[in-house]
Amino acid sequence: MTTLNVLSRCVAEYDPHALPVHAAQAIVRQWATPVTTAERVPLHDALDRVLAEDVMSPIDVPAHDNSAMDGYAFDGALLDTPRGSESVTLELAIAGKAYAGHPFEGSVPARSCVRVMTGASMPAGCDTVVPQEHVTLDDASGRPSIRFSAQPLARGANRRRAGEDLAHGHAALRAGRIVRAADLGLIASLGIGEIAVRRRLRVAFFSTGDELRSIGEPLGPGCVYDSNRHTLFGMLRRLNVDALDLGVVRDDPAALETALRDAATNADVVLTSGGVSVGEADFTKSLLQRFGDVAFWSLAMRPGRPLAFGRVWSGAQPGHGKHALFFGLPGNPVAVMVTFYQIVRDALLAMSGAAPQPLPLIRAISINAIAKRAGRTEFQRGIATRDAHGQWHVTPTGSQSSGVLSSMSEANCFIVLGHDIGNIDAGDTVDVMPFAGLI
Ligand code: AMP
Ligand code: MG
């Protein structure tokens, strides 16, 4: 079995005592193997799921050439009549009507047109539409007709081609795509009501700490309510994984072992919070070395320095029984969120079968000076605003302590201060990662 330590050392800049964020991301990515099982689900149940196979278009969309305007359809060859320098006026008799869903069935006589509404199939022999606002209608006589200038029209104008949106036999959507609202409509436009998606990733999570109390329990001296499990629940729900809440586990090796084995048996991934910082981690470490393959890292990032990563097995020793990918997140509530978004999220998406996209960053002017040490990546909680000229400005929320969760609630973005960056002066431009769509 290739162990984490062997694999990790192959990553440039591997240093378990100050591992750069991108190096940690690279190691994690190598271990994030997608689930392979697929299931067929009704269209609506596919929302936010990952496509297991390409969706091939069984038809042309639209199925027929049709009009893009309310107007009059005619044979565009008529536009080719010799043109002088002065504009050419065409006069065409109106042979009938076509509405969306009600095609004109007959054949169109020479020098005639058909009244068409947007979405109506193009009558046979017609390939061009003159918009109704460009014609003069003469329906006083028994033989209604239109007159219009040919000058502004090119053959094929205002006509949508069959298959212009999606062509028969082509992939309309690729495997690995997370199905969003537009995709539901797109799949429906193909007449497909059921599609193959990957099974949901199963993620078990629990909090560790003797001081933690659950909602409803009295708070004794020195105790705090467990918030991490609820934050994790929210973040996992957003990724549409099956979240398995294993509760609060005491700082006790036997209880921890039971919880980890339970997670390895029932889940693809296990997330814990707390108990991975130096000193306290010792029994966790010896425990995980017995039935896991886990590295304890000190990440060069703030918040979120301590992180354990690897695999745990349900069997008596590594390689035996079922296994789950393991992330031992720090205990501090803000650090849990930052490490989740920066390290865990991409792994969960990749394991779900999706191709993780880099999270969008925008450039903003820092309103304040920010103290920052080069040699680690910092994620400050910020409030970004856009001024009347479209320029973004950002200010850190008050406390940046990793225990102050209200700073996450108040913020609308992370201010991302890269590994090599030092102190920021007021007026400097910084990268900002908006929470919209992320949190
Ligand atoms: P630890 O990493 O276990 O040393 O925890 C660091 C800090 O985070 C301590 O102040 C803990 O009380 C706090 N903490 C750990 N787990 C949780 C949790 N689930 N909810 C709220 N605070 C926590
Ligand atoms: Mg603890």
Amino acid identity at 330: P
CATH of 4-36+200-351, one of 3.40.980.10, 3.40.50.300, 3.40.50.2300, 3.40.190.10: 3.40.980.10
Minimum-distance ligand to the CA of 328? 1
Query: In the predicted model, is pLDDT for residue 264 greater than 70?
Result: yes
Minimum-distance ligand to the CA of 228? 1
Min mean pLDDT across 47-56, 134-143, 408-417 is at 134-143
Q: Cα dihedral sign for 307, 416, 241, 245?
A: positive
Query: Is the C-beta atom of 331 inside 6 A of ligand 1?
Result: yes
Which residue in this structure is represented by tokens 């990553």?
Answer: 11
Q: Are 241 and 228 a contacting pair, CB within 8 Å?
A: no
Residue 311 pLDDT grade (very low, low, confident, very high; cuts 50, 70, 90): very high
Q: Are 38 and 55 a contacting pair, CB within 8 Å?
A: no
Query: In the predicted model, is pLDDT for residue 289 greater than 90?
Result: no
Q: What is the largest CA-CA distance in the chain?
A: 98
Q: Are 269 and 325 a contacting pair, CB within 8 Å?
A: yes
CA proximity to 147, closest of 203, 208, 74: 74
| Start-to-end CA span in the chain (Å) | 37
Q: Quick one: average pLDDT of 365-372? A: 97
Q: Are 333 and 405 a contacting pair, CB within 8 Å?
A: yes
Q: Looking at residue 277, what DSSP letter applies?
A: S
CA proximity to 146, closest of 65, 67, 74, 68: 74
Q: Work out which ligand 1 atom sits closest to the CA atom of 403.
A: 8
Kindly state the percentage of the chain with pLDDT values over 90: 81
- Separation of 331 CA from ligand 2 center, angstroms? 6
C-alpha distance from residue 294 to each of 95, 312, 429 (Å): 78, 8, 39
Query: Is the C-beta atom of 212 inside 6 A of ligand 1?
Result: yes
Domain residue extents for the chain: 4-36+200-351, 38-61+164-198, 66-160, 362-434
Min mean pLDDT across 17-31, 60-74, 225-239, 359-373 is at 17-31
CA proximity to 412, closest of 390, 389, 383, 438: 383
Between 51 and 357, name the one with better pLDDT. 51
Query: In the predicted model, is pLDDT for residue 4 greater than 90?
Result: no
Rounded distance, CA 309 to CA 297, Å?
8
C-alpha distance from residue 296 to each of 15, 286, 309, 327, 412 (Å): 11, 11, 7, 10, 31
Residue 154 pLDDT grade (very low, low, confident, very high; cuts 50, 70, 90): very high
Residues with Cβ within 8 Å of 319's Cβ and at least 6 positions away in sequence, in order, are: 1, 313
Helices and strands in the chain: count of H runs, count of E runs: 9, 26
Query: Is the C-beta atom of 332 inside 6 A of ligand 1?
Result: yes
pLDDT digits (tens, 9 = 90+) for 76-118: 999 986 655 457 899 999 999 999 999 999 999 999 999 999 9
Q: Are 37 and 202 a contacting pair, CB within 8 Å?
A: no
Pinpoint the alpha helices (H) of 267-388.
282-291, 333-339, 345-351
Q: Are 68 and 160 a contacting pair, CB within 8 Å?
A: yes
Q: Supply the pLDDT for residue 121.
A: 97
Q: Supply the pLDDT for residue 281.
A: 62
Q: Looking at residue 134, what DSSP letter applies?
A: G
Q: Are 341 and 331 a contacting pair, CB within 8 Å?
A: no
Which pair of structure tokens corresponds to residue 150? 């040919």
C-alpha distance from residue 252 to each of 220, 278, 282 (Å): 19, 16, 11
Query: Is the C-beta atom of 228 inside 6 A of ligand 1?
Result: yes
Amino acid identity at 399: S
Between 357 and 435, name the one with better pLDDT. 435
Residues with Cβ within 8 Å of 86's Cβ and at least 6 positions away in sequence, in order, are: none
pLDDT digits (tens, 9 = 90+) for 333-344: 999 999 999 999
Query: Is the C-beta atom of 209 inside 6 A of ligand 1?
Result: yes
CATH superfamily of 362-434: MoeA, C-terminal, domain IV (2.40.340.10)
pLDDT digits (tens, 9 = 90+) for 207-239: 999 999 999 999 999 999 999 999 999 999 999
Residue 201: burial class (beta carbons within 10 Å; 0-12, 13-18, 19+):
buried
- Separation of 207 CA from ligand 1 center, angstroms? 9
Minimum-distance ligand to the CA of 224? 1
- Separation of 428 CA from ligand 1 center, angstroms? 34
Rounded distance, CA 310 to CA 260, Å?
12
Q: Work out which ligand 1 atom sits closest to the CA atom of 207.
A: 19
CATH topology for 38-61+164-198 is: Molybdopterin biosynthesis moea protein, domain 2 (3.90.105)
Residue located nearest, by CA, to atom 5 of ligand 1:
331
Query: Is the C-beta atom of 275 inside 6 A of ligand 1?
Result: yes
Query: Is the C-beta atom of 240 inside 6 A of ligand 1?
Result: no
Query: Is the C-beta atom of 402 inside 6 A of ligand 1?
Result: no
- Separation of 332 CA from ligand 1 center, angstroms? 5
Judging by DSSP bridges, how do beta strands 224-225 and 212-213 pair with one another?
Answer: parallel
Q: Supply the pLDDT for residue 84.
A: 55
- Separation of 284 CA from ligand 2 center, angstroms? 11
- Separation of 274 CA from ligand 2 center, angstroms? 5
Q: Quick one: average pLDDT of 382-394? A: 98
- Separation of 337 CA from ligand 1 center, angstroms? 13
305 torsion bin: left (phi>0), alpha (psi -120 to 50), beta (else): alpha
Q: Work out which ligand 1 atom sits closest to the CA atom of 276.
A: 2
Which pair of structure tokens corresponds to residue 34? 């997608």
Minimum-distance ligand to the CA of 209? 2
Residue located nearest, by CA, to atom 15 of ligand 1:
331
- Three-state secondary structure readout of 164-231: CCECCCCEEECCCCECCHHHHHHHHHCCCCEEEEECCCEEEEEEECCCEECCCCCCCCCCEECCHHHH
Mean pLDDT (the chain, rounded): 93
Residue located nearest, by CA, to atom 17 of ligand 1:
331
CA proximity to 228, closest of 242, 246, 201, 241: 246
CATH of domain 66-160: 2.170.190.11
Query: Is the C-beta atom of 219 inside 6 A of ligand 1?
Result: no
